[in-house]
Amino acid sequence: MSQPKVDVAIKNACGSVGEGPHWDDASQTLLYVDIKNLDVHRYNPATGEDQVRHLKDTVSLVVPRRAGGYVVGLGRRLSLLEWDTGMVSTIQEVELDSGSRFNDGKCDPKGRLWAGTMGPEVGNAKVEPEAGALYCLDVDRSIEKKVSKVHISNGLAWTDDNKTFYFIDSIPRKVFAYDFDLETGAISNKRTAVEFPPDTLDTYGVPDGMTIDTDGNLWVACYNAGAVYKFDPETGKTLQKIDIPARQTTSVCWGGKNLDELYVTCARVYMSEEEFKTKWPLAGSVFKVTGTGSKGRPAYMYEG
């Protein structure tokens, strides 16, 4: 098998935590966020243009809305962003009077938005334990808590048959699987699909954002490992490792005309200027991986 090719798509795109890549199939653009710089980006690979909207709180996820605009995770709120005007309106707010914030989020095949929170950060990949949760924002804009006592809510994915939902909690370093009911959005029968052994922090890092390919394999961006790993969720085994020349890899999504290009976001935090210049000069960049031999399917948008 030939080695995948890793290119820099947008050099040093993010000054803090690049996250939440979402390929908008309709417009052939890549959406992503810079969490602590409070920015939402919209990148057009055909023209090279990278548009930015600066908001007023941490922005952790961005998903297109069928009726127009984008849903963003803004602090503890899920909000609607009108791109052209920059107008923001709150849809729901959770965990009032807490120091938590939304982190990763994605829509399921019915167009409901699943988004998780995390507690206050106390260090690099360290947070107040079990202070987060996973929520589901339905298309009628009602919100329901699905999972409690989460450390850092992260990657989400659904299988092609819509019967299994995968969810990462970064601190126990596990990818969990649930039985998924597409009609009701109910999840049940929690189990561990992929477990990162305790002595592998240097090689596997901390599981962060995730996507799934058309063969049902999981692709996980591993923070502090400078790598994306491909796993078989049926066996938990590692199938492939792709080295990324930026240590703080955060998330992944499939993009491009054939959905066979893997976009990878990275962070540039807890790093001195010296370390940035000498060791990780591509920190915060967005990378594009080609030649993996795999592909994804179009990402879902919010139908509410």
Kindly list the structural domains of the chain, giving each domain's residue range(s) and its CATH number in brackets, ordered by start: 5-290 (2.120.10.30)
CA 157, 69, 102, 188 dihedral sign is negative
208 catalytic per annotation:
yes
Q: Would you tell me how many other CB atoms lie within 10 Å of the CB of residue 229?
A: 23
Mean pLDDT by 10 residues, the chain (304 residues): 88 96 97 98 97 96 97 97 96 90 97 96 82 97 97 97 97 97 98 94 96 98 97 97 97 98 96 90 97 97 97
Q: Where is the binding site for substrate, in residues?
A: 101, 103, 121
The closest alpha carbon to 76, from 33, 34, 120, belongs to 120
From the CA atom positions of the chain, what is the Rg in Å?
A: 17
120 Cβ neighbours under 8 A, 6+ residues apart: 99, 100, 127, 128, 131
In sequence order, what are the beta bridge partners of 30? 23, 43
The arrangement of strands across the sheet holding 113-118 comes to: 101-107, 113-118, 132-137, 143-150
Predicted pLDDT of residue 1 = 54
Predicted pLDDT of residue 2 = 64
Predicted pLDDT of residue 219 = 98
Q: Where is the binding site for a divalent metal cation, in residues?
A: 19, 154, 208
Q: Which of 39, 104, 208, 260 is catalytic?
A: 208
Q: Is 199 left (phi over 0), alpha (psi -120 to 50) or beta?
A: alpha
- What is the reported pTM? 0.96
